[in-house]
Structure 1
């Protein structure tokens, strides 16, 4: 199994392979990480690992993208994560490749990254200015019947989105271009469905693509049934990801 040591960026969100991750970086520990990543030549991937923070641990102190000016300065790389940061994070995360890292005049960074491969967290090192982790890459097994499952998930997702957005709003139609690769479908739907972080984390950790698709089918049918009995909801843009604060 391939292992690597990468900078570690914990978030109150789950990143999936193939999905875009915009970041607004203002804490000093993550600024230091971005300054280090900028030393990597643009022709090489600027990789870091993203892991979701377990419920009950650090939460973003302010609205997305807006630093809290009244908050106490972060004292170090483990701030908010306790003496054993490994226990504060979910064990499976995703490698992110920073396509653009833009430093603002105030020293904060605007970053656009993309999820690439799933990894398992083996250890966390807090000896530097930011956390690093030893991770091992997880294989992407297809599983049995993934093709038919992907078709079923896309049908269920269309119904789910239509119910969520309202019949008068635009929703996916048969003419819309959608991926047909089962693994891509599994991650796209996992990211786009309005689910809590524990549900998304379970989907990320699924042992293979077919298992992830089966779980999504159950979740989508369940969520669609609930929405059907609710009053009309405002249109929701399922493909728009808010900027994640650090």
Structure 2
């Protein structure tokens, strides 16, 4: 299995492959992370991207990668972070602030590599980052010895499983029904003006991200052993959620594809 050591970015949310993640970064530990990612990217850009045979170097795609992992037990923002005073908390500093003495225990063990398309430093020293989820990974270890957390991770393959294609079709039908119920009389939906994909793994991740579920449910979908298992679980969840919504008097339309920007 392929392993790597990458910067670790814990969040109170789950990132799925193919999904966009906007971040507003103000804590020093994550500012340091983005400074290092920007420097690495600049170094890669200044190097010759082509080899002697004209082929591109795949490592040039790596400098802006970091791992997003969902927090199981801990604080997304340290008590000492700017704008987040907490007089009842002990002062916490360092890369593991808010995550205890053994930070890996605070995180779910399956996360997602994020590739930062843009890293923009603002005048106040904070950063605006736009990243996209790429591959699932398993956390093997977490290192808190530097200015920010890093993790040794192992890439998880995406196996199709049995009958993934047929399951994807059923999930898409259930998802459209769910959207219409959720949106109410106006019937606004995620697919307005666009078609949903039909590739089973893409369907499974899009539906997992767009369905209104709590973090444990989303995490279970992320770490499903294969696409078919994820789709089966989504079919159950969508039918259950649609049944609940059907018995509610009304719900406002929800823009499912646009999550709020995550503060770190």
TM-score range, shorter chain: over 0.9
Provide TM-score, normalisation by structure 2: 0.87
1:157-215 CA-partner distances (Å, limit 9, x unpaired): 00001101112232356984110100000000000000000000000000000000000
Q: Deviations over 1:105-158 (max 9, x none)?
A: 110000000000000000000000000000000011000100010010000000
Partner of 1:14: 14
Distance 2:169 2:192 in 1: 12
Q: Is the 8 A contact 1:117 1:137 kept in 2?
A: yes
Q: Which residue of 1 is the match for residue 52 of structure 2?
A: none
Q: RMSD between aligned alpha carbons?
A: 1.9
Report the alpha carbon displacement of residue 41 of structure 1 after superposing the two structures with TM: 2.6
Taking structure 1 as the reference length, the TM-score comes to 0.93
Which blocks of at least 5 consecutive residues in structure 1 are unaligned? Answer: none
In structure 2, the residue matched to 1:58 is: 75
Distance 2:101 2:255 in 1: 39
User: Counterpart of 1:151?
Assistant: 169
Count of aligned pairs between the two proteins = 242
Q: Is the 8 A contact 1:61 1:67 kept in 2?
A: no
Q: Secondary structure at the match of 2:187?
A: coil
Relative distance call for 1:173 and 1:58 in structure 2 (3 A) is: closer
Contact 1:61 1:68 (C-alpha < 8 Å) held by counterparts:
no
3-state SS of 1:16 partner: coil
**Shift in Å at residue 59 of structure 1?**
4.3
- What stretches of structure 2 of length at least 5 have no aligned partner? 46-59
Task: Quote the Cα distance in structure 1 between the aligned partners of 2:192 and 2:132.
Answer: 27
1:25 paired with 2:33, answer no
Q: Which residue of 2 aligns with 1:179?
A: 197
Distance 1:6-1:141 versus aligned 2 partners, 3 A rule: same
> Equivalent residue of 1:78, what SS?
coil
- Which has more radius of gyration? 2
